[in-house]
Structures are given as structure tokens and as C-alpha cells.
Structure 1
Amino acid sequence: MSSESSDQVLDYPLRAPSALEPPAEWDRLRQGCPVAHVRLPSGDKAVLLTRYNDVRQVLSDPRFSRNLAQDGAARITTNEGGSVFENPEAASLAGGESHQRWRRLINRAFTVKRIQALQTKIETMANHLVDEMVKKGPPADLVSDFAFPLPVWVIADLLGIAVTDREKLAYWSNAMLTMTQFTQEEVNQAQMEFAHFLMGHIAAKRANPGDDLLSELITATDKEDVLTERELIMTAQGILVAGHETTSNMIGKMMSMLLSDRSRWERLLANPSLIRTAVEESLRFDANMGFGLPRFISEDTEVAGQPLPRGTTVICSMSSANRDESFFEGASEMKLDRTPNAHITFGAGAHSCLGQALARTELQTTLQVLLKRLPTLDLAVKPEELPRREGLLVGGIEKVLVRW
């Protein structure tokens, strides 16, 4: 792409040929226009970063705010209330000392011990879902039969929420991740119902604490670090939305990547010790991660040698950064044994994903169980026919039909 094309304004998100392939523009932008001007679904303008080092720089810089509720920040969506990025109450936890304090508390709750204890339950849940699939017989939809219910069960278990509520939880989290799929009225209604549900759930936990993360946060002994009611609701909401939606989608995408070229699946069957690196490579190779992470620049700065004035909204494309040939050798190839693999799928810096250890455990356990239980697993449709999920901030595949 020539330098004069930096004046061109692209419609964002960029279109891709299929659910597993990257937009054609990524290569051109990384090579010739690493700071590109884009138009968001709302019609507002922003700047798109596509190179690894630039994305990492912005995500790691504490001066760049996650809070898009500020004056001058671009709106992501056409909804008046905006997206999950434009929620002013969530923004109160998004920066400064309050964020550090909140993150310290949540980190304390996301212990290695808790995740190890969950691992056994995840395996049991995964095996139960495979039993149900086998009972019904092929073809099965890996999304609705496996990838969707598993993380909801895990998050519900983590927060001590009854599994019977998982359909409602999924609807609410979709509404909070909308770009174009829901009306403003539907988003407002979902947020109100979600908050009301969580208020009742928190009250029940306060009266009768259990062995779950929410009870632990409520009964925190360090009185200076006790979360307020509003912070508890925002935390539970954040864990539910981030922990279920992204992992559900990633299971569907990971399995589609591995089965779209079945030699990858065969290699894992022959050598299950590659499961850990295969999960990391699936996270890196994912071309359909979704919107990316927006940041609002609060002071004049420079990225990739170009000045970015205060008040600019920047979209960081981790998917494109993870395909940067200048950082990853053979970036356009899926190498199941790639090591090291410093992908930035979970972000970088002070705001990197708190639940990444849990997500990795779910993805690794998924592979272990499916390789063992359904070794003949295969896609029942052509890879290019896999239907992309539309209208949400996170990327995914609507349906992954498989046989065995």
C-alpha cells in the first residue's frame, strides 16, 4: 500500500473472505500503512494499528485509557448507550488506583489452586457433553453442543450460579457485546435484568457464602479492599461476559482450525504432548478475534513514527499483530509446536486478561477430551462454508458441524 493511501478511510471492522481467513488488507496495512484511518459502525473516525510492536506499545502504555465514555472518544456502535467499552460505570474500574486495587483483589481470587480444582470439573463437564453428542449421533454442532455450554458451566460454577440460569446469562452477555445485533432498548433491558439478577445473587451469597469466587470477594477480610455493591456487580458481569463468550467462541474456532486441515488433528492424535503449544498457536493464528481493543489517547504521542494527537481513539488489532511476519517467523502458517509464542491475544500490560489461565485450562482440557473420546472427528462442511457470527464485538463461528 502506498504512503498516500494513509489518507484513505476504511470501514471497520474489515471484511474477511471466510470465518477462518484474515482480511486481505492486513498484510498491506502492516507493510505500508501501520497507522490507518477507519470509520467505525457508529460513523465515528478512529485509527487502526495492525503491527505487533505498535499494538503491544499502546496496550502496555497506562496513559492510553480503556474508558471510551470520555468526551471526545469515538463511539463504537450506533447505540446511544454504546457498547461494553462505553459503559461509564465499567469505566470507573478501568484506570488508575481503583483499577490496580480491583485487579489485586481479582488476582487473589483467580489462584492456581482454584483453577487446578476447576480443571477436574471441566474434564467431567466436557466428558458429559461428549456423552450427549454421542448419544444423539453425528452430525453434531460443536458450538451449541459443546463450545457454548462448557464455559457457561465453568463460569457459573466459579461464581456459584445455578446452571439453570445459563441461557439467560448468554443472552445478556450477547447484548452487552453488541455492535449491530441488538437495539438500544434491548441493550438497556438486558443490562437492567442482568444487574437485577446479580444483585439478588450477591445478596444470597452474602447471607449464605459458599466455596466460590463471588463469596470470597464478598467476605474479603481486608476491610480496605472490600468491593462495593456496584463493583461486585460490575466484576461478576465482567467475568461472565468475558469468561463465557470469548472462550465459547475460541473453542469453536480452535476446533475449526485444527479440523480444516485434518493433518493438524492427526498430528495431535499421534503426539498429544503438543496440546499446550497447539492451544497457544490456535490463539495466535485466530484471524477472527473480533473488534480488537480500543484505547483513548489522553496526551499527544507517537506510534510507528507518526504523531497521534490527544483525543484520538485507537483500535488495536491483536489478530493482525499476531500475524506480523516481522515478529513471528512463518506467521501465516499454523505451527502446532511453535515456541516461543509471544502472541498478544490476551492483551498486554496492566489490562491483560485476568482469566487467561482459566481460558487456557478450558481449551487444553477440550482438546484432551475430544482427542481421546472422538479421534475420528472431522468437519461435516467445507471450511469456507463455516458461518461467521455477525454483529458482536467478539469474533466467532455460528455453527461448526462435525461427524466422527
Structure 2
Amino acid sequence: MSTITVTGYKEAQQTLSIPDLSQALYDEGAALMADVLVNLHGEDHKQRRALEMSVFRRDFFSYYEKEVLPPVVEETLRPFVAAGRGDVVEIGYRAMIGLTADFAGIDRQRRVPEETADLVRLLRVFGHAATMGQFKGTPSEAEELKKRVVDGMREFDERFFGPSVARREALLAKFRNGEIDEAALPRDILTLLLRNELNLDLPRERVLRETAFYFLAGAHTSIHSLSHAMHEIFALCERNPAERERLEKDVLFLQRCVHESFRLHPSSPVSKRKAMCPMSLPNGQAATTTDTIVIDLYQANRQVDAFGDDAASFNPHRTRVPPRMPYGITFGVGVHSCLGKNLAAGDLPTATTNPETHQLGTVTLLARAFLAHGARPDPTRKAEQDLSTERETWLAYPLVFAR
């Protein structure tokens, strides 16, 4: 039993594409992550991914980006702008909570600030389930975090998941009886799972975990990616103040900055896989079913032969060489690639792209809103990174607003 690490960009891309490698990054967070899509393999994974991809169609992304998110972002920012200060992480959680709850299928019963605060608190707790395997604390501290996730799942079930299931089951009963048409059904993950629970062998606990996973995945990584993007953008403007004006006027350039930040700061620095059978990996090493294969996304995305001599630096002016993505392999490759990539990162612009109709991605939209209100790092409060995990994440990134 050994650990095999893959760092080369080409080899990492090819390794992630191997269908006989199963996910191995989230085993420690089983209270939430057991049997969710990202951890499935083979036919089970194929069937559930095909079902859930029907939610993530292009018109879904466009609708949320053009119609839903902009007013939510402005409403979220308003009190912080009025106060003249805020925090990237806190604002990100508040702005994304409604979007991620909507497409996961979690109803907000009261839609009051206290309820939003409770959902944000649960989202932060659930984040530990996804990062448990990279936690750097003591075993007793890890056990305490696992207990918090279990308790959080219980609260989430009682207050949010249970009522959301009841409402959708009532609507599905009306649909089956011909009282309403399909257009009246919610378009979300939970409704899909309830309609197909018999075909996919989904007991209630599995539906609960899958819905909680989408609630988590839709916001957690985007929020931390937003923090990294703003940090890189502020540093760019400090090095070259003229870039600030371009960033505020040229949204496609802003999106390039976000993509470059995605490349340098993948939400997890590594992917982990287990071989389903003995095999030879693209880097020439032999792997058995007892080995752990670590694909180092952080290092692969910084390879000079893939992104140039300054590959480790933030350079949004970098020339992209297709078919390489500007964000590298941050969103994965192959059957386990991220379903929400287009939601977070948007489409890739071309020479003829119209910025008015182009899909920018949620991170770029949030970054644009921050810049439009004159956001800058708060000189009186220091940004704080989370040192308890191997992941690059910000606990707090204070801002001041000039407009």
C-alpha cells in the first residue's frame, strides 16, 4: 500500500480521465458525503449524473445569472455598502445561499434574515465534511468536527429538508393525478430525486445527503474562489493601478482574472483516486487496488510546459493555448468533472463575444459588484486564512467600499 503522486499537467489530465479510478478524497466526511454523486462510481455514477445533469442545462445557468443572481447580490451588498465596509467571505455566503438552496431544492420557509443566518451557519458546518480528509488538527478535534456535521445534518433535516420534501411530494401527487402540469413542478435536484427514487434505489437518507451535498457544493467552493480572485485582483491593481479602470469597464478581462485565479487556487489542492484494478498510470508508475493516487492540481496547474515561464504567477494577460482551459484542471476532467463549472466560471469568451449576453459565471458577477462599489482591502483589519486545513481558504477578507 503506497501513495502515488502525479504532478505533471499532461499526466494529471490523463490520470483524471481514467474511468477505472474511483473517488477517494471525501471518505472522512461520510456523514454527509457517503453515496453522493461525487463519491459514486461505475453505473450508479453514470445513472445519477445523467439524471442530475438535466437540471444543469445552459438555459438554467443563463436564467440564474441574468435574472436571479444580480438583484440578490445588490440586495446583499446594500447594507455593507451603506456601512462602508464588509467581508468577502461573509457577503459571498449571504449572496450564494439563496441560489444554492434553490437549485438543491431547499425551501426557505420564512425568508427572514435569521433563517438566512442559520442556513449560512449550517453551510459552514457542512464545509467540514468536504474537507475532513485535509484537516490538520488533532484526532479529537477531527471527531468534534464530525459530530458537528452529524448534528448539523439532523437540524437541516428537521427544519429544511423535511418540509421541502413534503411540499414536493404533494406537488408530485397532483402532477401524477393530472391536477397540474410538469411546468408547475420545481426545477431542482430534490424534485428530480423524488421523481426517480424508485428507479435509482434512493432511500430517504441518501436523498438527504445528496440534497445537502448540492446545497454545500453550490456555494462553498465558489465563495472561497471568490476570496482568492479578489485577493489576486487587489494585488494586480496595487502593482499596476491602471488595471483598476480596465477591470471596472471590461468585464471579459475581469472574467479572465477570475479564470487565472481559479487556475492558481483550485478549491482542493489535490484530487485523490483509488484504482479499481491494477493498472499502469500515464506517468509510467504501476498502481494496485491498495494504492492511493494523488493528483496534485496545485502543482499541475503551475507547470511551465503548460502555462509558460511565469506559470506560478498571476497573469490575466496570459495567452491561452487550446485545448488547455484558462483555469487548468481545477474543475476536474472526465466522469468526475464538476457539474457546476459553468455556473461558477461561465463560458469561455471568443474574439466576437458580446459581453452583454456572455455568461460570466457567479464568481465574476460577484467580483464585478464588489469593484463597482469601490471595494478595496480594509487597511484596519487583516485578512485571515484558515490554517486548520491543507486547503487554501480564507476565514475572513475584510473590505471597505468607497462608493
- Per-residue deviation at 1:91? 7.5
> CA, structure 1 residues 301+357, in 2 after alignment: closer, same or farther (shift >3 Å)?
same
Q: Contact 2:383 / 2:394 at 8 angstroms: preserved in 1?
A: yes
Instruction: Choose from 286, 289, 306 the match for 1:327.
Output: 306
Identity of aligned residues (%): 19
Choose from 286, 291, 301 the match for 1:312.
Answer: 291
What is the TM-score when the length of structure 1 is the normalising length?
A: 0.75
Aligned CA-pair RMSD: 3.1
Q: What is the rounded CA distance, in whole Å, between the counterparts of 1:63 and 1:336 in structure 2?
A: 36
Q: Which residue, out of 321, 328, 341, partners 1:356?
A: 341
Whether the 8 Å CA contact 1:56–1:348 is kept in 2: the answer is yes
Describe the SS at the equivalent of 1:65: strand
1:137 Cα offset (Å)? 1.3
Greater Cα shift, 237-246 or 360-369: 360-369
- Give the Cα–Cα distance (whole angstroms) in 2 for the partners of residues 312 and 331 of structure 1: 30
Q: 1:86 to 1:65 in 2, by over 3 A?
A: farther
Question: Which residue of the partner structure matches residue 168 of structure 2?
Answer: 205
Partner of 1:378: 376
- C-alpha distance 91-112 of structure 1, shift in aligned 2 (>3 A): closer
- What's the CA shift string for 1:17-56, capped at 9, x where partnerless? xxxxxxxxxxxxxxxxxxxxxxxxxxx9633322212221
**Cα distance between partner residues in 2 of 1:254 and 1:85:** 31
Please tell me whether the aligned partners of residues 270 and 294 of structure 2 are also in contact (alpha carbons under 8 angstroms).
Answer: yes
Aligned partner of 1:32 in structure 2 is none
CA distance in 2, matches of 1:124, 1:91: 31
Counterpart of 1:401 (choices 391, 398, 401) is: 398
Q: How far did residue 113 of structure 1 move?
A: 1.5
Displacement after TM superposition at 1:401 (Å): 1.6
Match of 1:256 in 2: 231
Distance 1:58 1:207, change over 3 A: same
Aligned-partner Cα distance in 2 for 1:248–1:137: 21
Greater shift, 52-61 or 170-179, is seen at 170-179
Give structure 1 regions of 4+ aligned residues with deviation exceeding 6 angstroms: none
Q: Check whether the contact 2:269–2:297 (CA below 8 A) recurs between aligned residues.
A: no
Find 2:7's aligned residue among 42, 45, 50.
Answer: 50
Equivalent residue for 1:155? 100
Higher relative contact order, structure no. (Cα contacts within 8 Å, ≥ 6 residues apart)? 2
Q: Are 1:130 and 2:77 counterparts?
A: yes
Tell me which moved more, 244-253 or 48-57.
48-57
Q: How does 1:26-175 map to 2 (within 5 A)?
A: 46-67=3-24, 82-84=28-30, 87-90=33-36, 94-119=40-65, 120-138=67-85, 140-144=86-90, 146-158=91-103, 159-162=105-108, 164=115, 165-175=118-128
Tell me how far apart the structure 1 counterparts of residues 36 and 190 of structure 2 sit (CA, whole Å): 21
What is the CA-CA distance between 1:351 and the residue it aligns to? 0.6
Structure 2 portions without partners, runs of 5+? 173-184, 346-360
Report the 3-state secondary structure (helix = DSSP H, G, I; strand = E; otherwise coil) of the residue aligned with 2:313: coil
1:357/1:135 CA distance change after superposition, 3 Å: same
Which stretch of the first structure deviates more once superposed, 233-242 or 194-203?
A: 194-203
Q: TM-score, normalised by structure 2?
A: 0.75
Distance in 2 between residues matched to 1:207 and 1:401, nearest whole Å: 44
Q: Aligned in 2, Cα 1:381/1:302: closer, same or farther, shift over 3 Å?
A: farther
Shift of 1:226: 8.2
CA distance 1:221–1:398, shift in 2 (3 Å): closer
Structure 1 residue 189: Cα displacement: 2.7
